[in-house]
Chains A and B, each alone.
Chain A
Amino acid sequence: MSRRGPIILARRAYRQRRLRDAVRLLPLAGAFLFLLPILWSSPEGNVTATDGIYLFAVWLGLVALAALMARALGAEEELDTPPLSGDVPEGGGG
C-alpha cells in the first residue's frame, strides 16, 4: 500500500476515530449483554448452568474484544505521537 498523499492519511485518521468510538461503545454493549438475563428471568427460577455459561461466554468475549482494541489503539498511538487530538468533543459530554 502506498504511504503518501492526504487520502491515505485521512483514511488512517478516520479509522482511528472509529476505533475510539468502538472503545467507547464496548462497555455499553457489555452492560446490555450483562443485563440481558433479566429479560428471561422467570418466577420458577433460572437454570444456573446455562445462565452461567452465557455469562462467562459474554465475559470472555468482552475481554477478547477489549484486548484487541487496546492493542490496535497502542499501535495507532505509536504511529501518531500526539494521540489525544481527536477527543475534545466528549470532554463535556459525560
Chain B
Amino acid sequence: MPFNLLVLACISYAAMLFLVAFAVERRAERGEARWLRSPLVYTLSLSIYCTAWTFYGAVGYAARSGLEFATIYLGPTLVFIGWWWVLRKLVRIARQQRVTSIADMISGRYGKSNMLGVVVTVLNVIAVTPYIALQLQSVTLSFGVFAAAGSEGWAVPDTEATALWVAGGLTLFTILFGTRNLDANEQHTGVVTAIAVEAVVKLVALLAVGVFVVWLVADGPADMVARIGASALGHWDLVPSRWAGLTFLSAAAVLTLPRMFQVVVVENSDERFLPTASWAFPLYLMAMSLFVVPIAVMGLEVMPEGANPDLFVLTLPLSQGHGGLAMLAFLGGFSSATSMVIVASIALATMVSNHIVVPLWLSLRPTREVTGDVRRLVLMSRRFSIAGVLGLGYLYYSLSGGASALAAIGLVSFAGVAQMLPAMLGGVFWRGATRIGAMAGVLIGFVVWIYTLFLPSFGPGAIFTAEFLATGPFGLGWLRPQALFGIEGLDPLMHALFWSLAFNIVAFVVGSLVSFPTPVERVQGLAFVDVFDPERAEPQAWVRGLADAEALLVLAQRILGDDAALGFFEMQAQAQGKAGYLPDPVPEFLDALERRLAGSVGAAAAHAMIAELAGRARVTVVDLMRVADETAQIMEYSSRLESQREELTRTARQLREANEKLTQLSVQKDAFLSQISHELRTPMTSIRAFSEMLREGDMPPDMAANSARIINEEAIRLTRLLDDLLDLGVLENHTVRLSLRLASLTELLDRAVRAAAQTRPERDFTVIRDLPSEALFIRTDPDRLAQVCINLIANARKYCDAAWAELRITVRQRGGRVILDFIDNGTGIPKDKQSLIFEKFARLTDQTRAGGAGLGLAICREIMVNLGGSISYLPGQGGAAFRVVLPLQMKKTPEDEAA
C-alpha cells in the first residue's frame, strides 16, 4: 500500500471526526442533541477502555499466553454487571457533587483537601503518561507495517517524526474540542460522540478481520476449533495467581483509570444509561475478544517464523493480499489509539489545571479579591496541560526509543492507578475513612509501586542495575525490588500488586482509625456514603448572611461566564421567591453555587473562592450534631424549627421590602400628582396670559406673532405629556394595536442611535456596537421596539456620568429569543433604586430634570410586555445596564387574531 495513500486515509478519517464533533457541538448548542446523549452513545464511549494496546496487543498476548489475555476484559465485565454495587453510587455522587475528575472526587470526599488532589494528580500523570506513549508507539508501528509492505509513494519518515506528527495532531484535536467551554459538569458532547464513532470503527474492523480469518482463511468455526487444537496454542498454562490477580487488576483499573472515570462517571448525563451499559459494555468487550485466539492461531500458522504477533491484525490480511481489509484494521487501531489519547489527556489536563494550576494562582495572586477572567485562565491552563501531557507522552516515547519495555507498560499503568482504589471505595462505603488515612494509603502504595514495578519495568541496567535487582539496596536482600521480604517465585507484576495494595490498604485503614476527621470531612463523608438518603446527604457548610450577593455574582460571572451566571442567579432568586438577579445569600444558595463552580474549577478551588467571600467555611452546630447519630432526631427537629424561623424572617423581610416599596410608590405618586399639576399649570398660565394679551388687540404684529408661537409651543408640550399618559394607559390595558413585520435589527438600532442623538446633542458620546452580531431579522413591531431603544440610549446620554461616556450595545441570540444589552460606563443605579426605576413616575435624581415626567422606562416595560419580551436591570456590569429580551418571531396574541 502506498504510504501517501495511508496518510491521506488517516487525514480524511481525522477530518471526518472533526466534522462529527463539530456538527454535534453545534447541535448541542442549539439544544437539539438529545438523541446524542443516549445509552447507546454512552456505552460506545466507554469503549476507550480498548486502546491500541488491546486492539493490536491482545492477539500478541494470546499468541504468548493463551486465554490469559481475556482477564483484561473479564474484570470490567464483572464491574459493569455489578453496577448496582459501585458504579451507581459513583455516578450519583459525581452528579450531586459536580465531580470533574477522579482526583476531584477523592479530594472532595476527604474534606475538599487540595493536597490530596495534588498527590492523586501527580500519581495519575506518572502512571498514565507511559500509556499514552504506548499509543503513539502502536500508531508508528502500524505505519511501519504498511511502509515495509510497499515502496511506492512518499518515503516513510522515520518513526520519531511520525510520532511527533501524530502527537501534534492529537493535541490540536483535543484542545479544539476538549476545552471549548468550561461548563455543565465538564461534559464534552462533541468529543464523546466522536469517540462513539471510533468505537464502532474499531469493533467493525476487528470483527471483519475475525470473520475473514475464520471463514476465509479457515473453513468455518469447526475447522477453526480443530486448527486451534492442532496449533502451538492448543494447550495453555493457566497460572492461578495471574488469572485471579489480572482479573482483579483490570476490574480495579476500569474504576480508577482517569480516562475511564471521565467517560463512565463525569460524562454520564443520565443515571438511567447505566442499566443499559451494564450489559451492553460487557457485550462489546466480548465481541472485541471473540476472534482474538483465532487470529493468533492463524497468524502463527500462516505468517513466517519470527513475525511480530502484536501486528497480526494488520499483517495477516496484508499477507493474504487483502489491502482494503488491512486498511480497515489500520483505521481500527488508529481509532483505538486516538480515542484513548484524547480522553486521557482531557482527564489529566482537567486534574492538572484544577488541582495544581488554579490553586497555585489563587494563592499567588497579589490581591485577595478575585480579579480578571478566571475562565480564560482555567481554559488556557487546560490547553497547556493537554499539550504538556501529550508532550510528556512523546518525550517518554522518544526517550525509551520504542523499546520492548513499553509493551508491559499497560499493566504497569493499571497497577499504578489501582493505588487509588482503597481511598476511593473506602471513601464511598466507609464513613470512618479520613484524609490522613487516604493520604497515607495512596502515598505508600504509590511509592511501593514505583519501587517494585515502575522503575524495574525499564529493564535491568536502565535505572536499577542488574546487581541492584539481584541483591537489593546496600546488599539488603529483603529489600530487593522484585522480591520484598524474601518472597520469591511470584510473577513481578503480581508481586508488586500484592505488596503495594497490601501496604496501601493497611496504611489507609490504620491511618483512618487513629486520626480524627475535620468537620468538613465528616460532612462530606456523610454526603458520599449516604448519597441515596436525601435527608442526610444534603449538608450545609455555610453560615448565612456574611456574603454579598453582588460580589458572588461578579465571582460567578468570571468563572461561569455572564449568561450562565446570570441565569443561575435568576433561577436561585426565583426559587427564593424574589424577582431580579440577586438571591439572598442563604446557605442553600451558597451550597448550590459552590457545587456549580466546582463543576468548572474543582471542589477545592470552588470551596476556597466562596470561603473568601462568605467568611470562613464553617459547619454549623446543627450539621455536626447530625453527624452524631444519637441526638440526630432531636436536632433534626430543632433544625427544622430553625429553618422555619429563617423562612419566617425571610418572608417578613420580603414583606417589609414590599411595604417600603408601596410607601415609596405612594409618596412618588403624590409627588407626581403635584408635579403634573405643576407641569399642567405652568403652560396653562402662560397660555392664559398670552391669550388674554392677544384678546386686548392693541399689540404690534411681531409681538402678537411671538405670543401666538409661545401659546402654540406650550400647547404642544401639554399634548406630549397627555400623549405619554394615554400611551401608557393603552399599553397597560393591552389594547394596543401592533403592526408586526420583519425588520432588520441593524437598521432599527441605526435609527434609534440617530434619533437619540437629539438628546443632549452637545455631549461627547460613544456608542460601541458589534455589527456582525446584529445581522438579525426579527418579526416584531419595529416602531415600538425602536421606541424602547431610543429611550434607553437617550437615558444613557442624559444620565451617564463618566467623563468619556460610552454605551455598549450587544446582541445575542439564544434559542428563539434575542437578547439586547445596553451597558454604559457610568456609576450605574444604586441597589436600593434598582427595583423602582421601572415604576411609573419614578425619577432618580431631582437635579437632572431633563424634561419628561418619569414615564420613559415605565412605557418601555409595558411595550416589552406587549411585544412578548421583557426589560430588566442587570446588576454587576460596571455601569447602568439594561437587558431587553424579545422573541425572534413574535406570535400574534389571541386578541389580535380575533380583531
Interface residues in chain A, defined as those with a beta carbon under 8 Å from any beta carbon in chain B:
20, 23-24, 26-28, 30-31, 34-35, 37-38, 41, 44-49, 51-53, 55-56, 59-60, 62-64, 66-67, 70-71, 73-74, 84, 87-88, 91-94
Interchain residue pairs A-B with the least CB separation, the first 5: A27-B82, A45-B235, A70-B275, A66-B279, A94-B429
Q: Which residues of A contact B234 (CB under 8 A)?
A: 47-49
Is B84 within 8 A of A20, CB to CB? yes
Taking the nearest CB of chain B, how far is it from the CB of A87, in angstroms?
6
Q: Which residues of B contact A84 (CB under 8 A)?
A: 532
- Looking at chain B's contact residues, the main secondary structure is helix
With a 10 A CB-CB cut-off, give which of B237, B275, B276, B280 has the most chain A CB atoms. B275
- A91-B286 contact in complex given A35-B244, A48-B293, A49-B225, C-beta closer than 8 Å: no
With a 10 A CB-CB cut-off, give which of A48, A60, A64, A73 has the most chain B CB atoms. A48
In the complex, A30 Cα to B251 Cα: how many Å?
A: 13
Report 15 cross-chain contacts, Cβ distance below 8 Å, ordered by A residue: A27-B81, A28-B82, A30-B81, A37-B238, A38-B240, A41-B238, A46-B236, A48-B293, A66-B81, A66-B282, A67-B280, A74-B275, A91-B429, A91-B530, A91-B532
In the complex, A94 Cα to B425 Cα: how many Å?
A: 8
- What is the size category of the interface that chain B forms with chain A? 35 or more
Is B77 within 8 A of A24, CB to CB? no
Q: Write the B258-295 contact mask toward A (1 if CB under 8 angstroms, else 0).
A: 00000000000000100110111011001000100100
Is A51 within 8 A of B236, CB to CB? yes
Interface locus among B66-74, B142-150, B444-452, B793-801 = B66-74
Does B229 make an interface contact (CB < 8 A)? Answer: yes
Taking the nearest CB of chain A, how far is it from the CB of B534, in angstroms?
9
Is B533 within 8 A of A91, CB to CB? yes
- A48 contact from B81, B84, B235, B533, Cβ within 8 A: B235
Q: Write the B782-817 contact mask toward A (1 if CB under 8 angstroms, else 0).
A: 000000000000000000000000000000000000
Q: Which residues of B contact A74 (CB under 8 A)?
A: 272, 275
Taking the nearest CB of chain A, how far is it from the CB of B537, in angstroms?
10
Interface residues of B in 648-667 (CB under 8 A from A): none
Taking the nearest CB of chain B, how far is it from the CB of A35, in angstroms?
6
Interface residues in chain B, defined as those with a beta carbon under 8 Å from any beta carbon in chain A:
66-67, 70, 74, 77-82, 84-85, 225, 228-229, 233-238, 240, 243-244, 247, 272, 275-276, 278-280, 282-283, 286, 290, 293, 425, 429-431, 529-530, 532-533
- B243 contact from A24, A28, A38, A88, Cβ within 8 A: A38
In the complex, A51 Cα to B74 Cα: how many Å?
A: 14
- A47 contact from B229, B279, B286, Cβ within 8 A: B229
Taking the nearest CB of chain B, how far is it from the CB of A88, in angstroms?
6
Taking the nearest CB of chain A, how far is it from the CB of B500, in angstroms?
21
Is B532 within 8 A of A48, CB to CB? no
- A62-B81 contact in complex given A46-B238, A93-B429, C-beta closer than 8 Å: yes
- Looking at chain A's contact residues, the main secondary structure is helix
In the complex, A48 Cα to B286 Cα: how many Å?
A: 17
Taking the nearest CB of chain A, how far is it from the CB of B390, in angstroms?
35
In the complex, A30 Cα to B82 Cα: how many Å?
A: 9
Is A46 within 8 A of B235, CB to CB? yes
- A35-B243 contact in complex given A27-B79, A45-B236, A91-B530, C-beta closer than 8 Å: yes
Is A88 within 8 A of B229, CB to CB? no
In the complex, A25 Cα to B113 Cα: how many Å?
A: 35
Is B84 within 8 A of A23, CB to CB? yes
Is A55 within 8 A of B70, CB to CB? yes
Q: Which residues of B contact A62 (CB under 8 A)?
A: 77, 81, 282
Q: Which residues of B contact A73 (CB under 8 A)?
A: 275
In the complex, A23 Cα to B82 Cα: how many Å?
A: 7
- B278 contact from A41, A66, A88, Cβ within 8 A: A66
Q: Which residues of B contact A71 (CB under 8 A)?
A: 275
Taking the nearest CB of chain B, how far is it from the CB of A27, in angstroms?
3
Is A34 within 8 A of B78, CB to CB? yes
Is B279 within 8 A of A35, CB to CB? no
- B81 contact from A26, A44, A91, Cβ within 8 A: A26
Is B430 within 8 A of A92, CB to CB? yes
In the complex, A93 Cα to B530 Cα: how many Å?
A: 11
Is A26 within 8 A of B229, CB to CB? no
In the complex, A47 Cα to B229 Cα: how many Å?
A: 7
Task: Find the A residue at minimum CB distance from B282.
Answer: A63
Taking the nearest CB of chain B, how far is it from the CB of A43, in angstroms?
8
- A70-B425 contact in complex given A24-B84, A38-B240, A47-B235, C-beta closer than 8 Å: no
- B286 contact from A20, A26, A59, Cβ within 8 A: A59
- A67-B244 contact in complex given A46-B238, A48-B67, C-beta closer than 8 Å: no
Q: Which residues of A contact B237 (CB under 8 A)?
A: 41, 45-46
